[in-house]
Structure 1
Amino acid sequence: MTNKRSILIFVFVLFLLACTGRNKTVEIAVEPGWMVEVDDSLILDERMFCSETETEKRMLSMGLVDIGKLDRRIKVKLVYATPDNFTGKVLYRELRKAYMRPLVAEKLIRAQDLLENIRTGWQIVVYDAARPMSVQREMWELVKGTPRHIFVSNPGRGGGLHNYGLAVDVTLCDSSGGFPDMGSAFDYFGEEARGDKEEELVIRGKITPEAFENRQLLRKVMTEAGFIALGSEWWHFNALPRREVIGKWERIE
């Protein structure tokens, strides 16, 4: 078994060298689930190889960039690539990275710089970035006609700025790798998620003073970097005003 494992890993390293170029240093980062031992075999997950899905290729052809490659300080946890979201199912079946317009990436990196100047070792975590319209339509079908529809942009009205690669959903990660109290979970459909009523929410005991402080910190670094906060969701930030985007920028279908 050891010999088989060594041979497969050696072959994989040669493959990486071919992908990255002979004179470049290769860093191998193995994530949980990439190597799975079954019986007497070693299976290498497809994500270990330097290829993109068709959706990712389309985004790259539109000029979008992968924030994970541009700045490793910024963590990525794509919620919709897992079933742990408000729909209870995987929506990003061909999306494994956080793509966005270059101007969004530039602002996000600036926000990370500002965060580090205030809280050493803290990081921005991306929950969502560019979102195909096909996924937006799936979301809308689940909430239309319900009170939750106010939290999901209507595809019939142009969708939201996620569908143009011009919005991000983010949170904070502290220096120990933990997630500080933000007052509500991501995609929480309730008043505790609102960023425009926080003082009232603290007074009523709906969110803690610590959560209020953490939200203020997140909003401070994001807005100083050039983002526009969304009042109904503490995690959502647009890179441009909606009026400058709909009908003027290319949508991600």
Structure 2
Amino acid sequence: MLDRGLVNIQSIDPDISVELKYATSDNFMGRNVYGELKRAYLQPEMAKRLARASAQLRRLHPGYKLLVYDAARPNAAQYDLWNALDALKIPAGSKTMYVADPKIGSNHNFGCAIDLTITDEKGRPLDMGTRFDFFGPLAYPRKEQEMLRTGKLSRQQVASRELLRKVMVEAGFRANTTEWWHFDGMSKSQAKARYGMIP
């Protein structure tokens, strides 16, 4: 990752916590997909934006911290995730709602996307209403008001998601409509034009 010009985000802001879910068995595949990859890397500009989001979060809520679940992802792992959706019986036409086609690549494959949450003063992740990697409308930011009206999400859960979006969007990231945890630093076409895919 370093040879490709990416940076370890904790070298930019040691206050950011990292727990790469795909380097553990705590993910939708139930196994380590990343092997020895344990640190979170991003393109330098993305890492600087993340540090700005972290600083803004500290200003708004002293004691709260960002916890990164995924950052730069090798394209080989993208194929692994894509193929695993077949075992979950995700219809072919719906697969790209959850995992980008590895032939095209995800913004993760260019070091321009990040998955994360917020932890409280005791280091516990805030309740966002679903776990990371949840497949379904309960995780969709675009469905939050409907889920709130029907009692499937609480006001506090939505408020926690809104806080995450606030600090990330103000730092220059774009929120995702189907995953509360996912943020993009630029469009995929921009990322592809500017950076090579991580093999």
Counterpart CA distance in 1 for 2:146 and 2:78 is: 32
- Retained in 2: the 8 A contact 1:78–1:128? yes
- Retained in 2: the 8 A contact 1:228–1:241? no
Offset of residue 248 of structure 1: 4.2
Counterpart CA distance in 2 for 1:246 and 1:195 is: 26
Runs of 5+ unmatched residues, structure 2: none
The residue that corresponds to 1:155 in the other structure is 102
Q: Deviations over 1:154-180 (max 9, x none)?
A: 012x11100000000010001122211
Computed over aligned residues only, the root mean square deviation of the Cα atoms, in angstroms, reads 1.2
Runs of 5+ unmatched residues, structure 1: 1-58
Counterpart CA distance in 2 for 1:248 and 1:67 is: 20
**Greater relative contact order (Cα 8 A, min sep 6): structure 1 or 2?**
2
The residue that corresponds to 1:200 in the other structure is 146
The residue that corresponds to 1:5 in the other structure is none
Identical columns (%): 42
The residue that corresponds to 1:127 in the other structure is 69
Give 1:221's match in structure 2, choosing from 167, 173, 183. 167
* Amino acid in the other structure paired with 2:90: T
Q: Do residues 146 (structure 1) and 90 (structure 2) align?
A: yes
The residue that corresponds to 1:17 in the other structure is none
The residue that corresponds to 2:5 in the other structure is 63
The residue that corresponds to 1:11 in the other structure is none
Offset of residue 223 of structure 1: 0.1
Q: Which has the larger radius of gyration?
A: 1
The residue that corresponds to 1:238 in the other structure is 184
State TM-score, norm by structure 2. Answer: 0.94
Counterpart CA distance in 2 for 1:200 and 1:243 is: 32
- Retained in 1: the 8 A contact 2:12–2:48? no
Counterpart CA distance in 2 for 1:205 and 1:242 is: 35
Counterpart CA distance in 1 for 2:34 and 2:181 is: 19
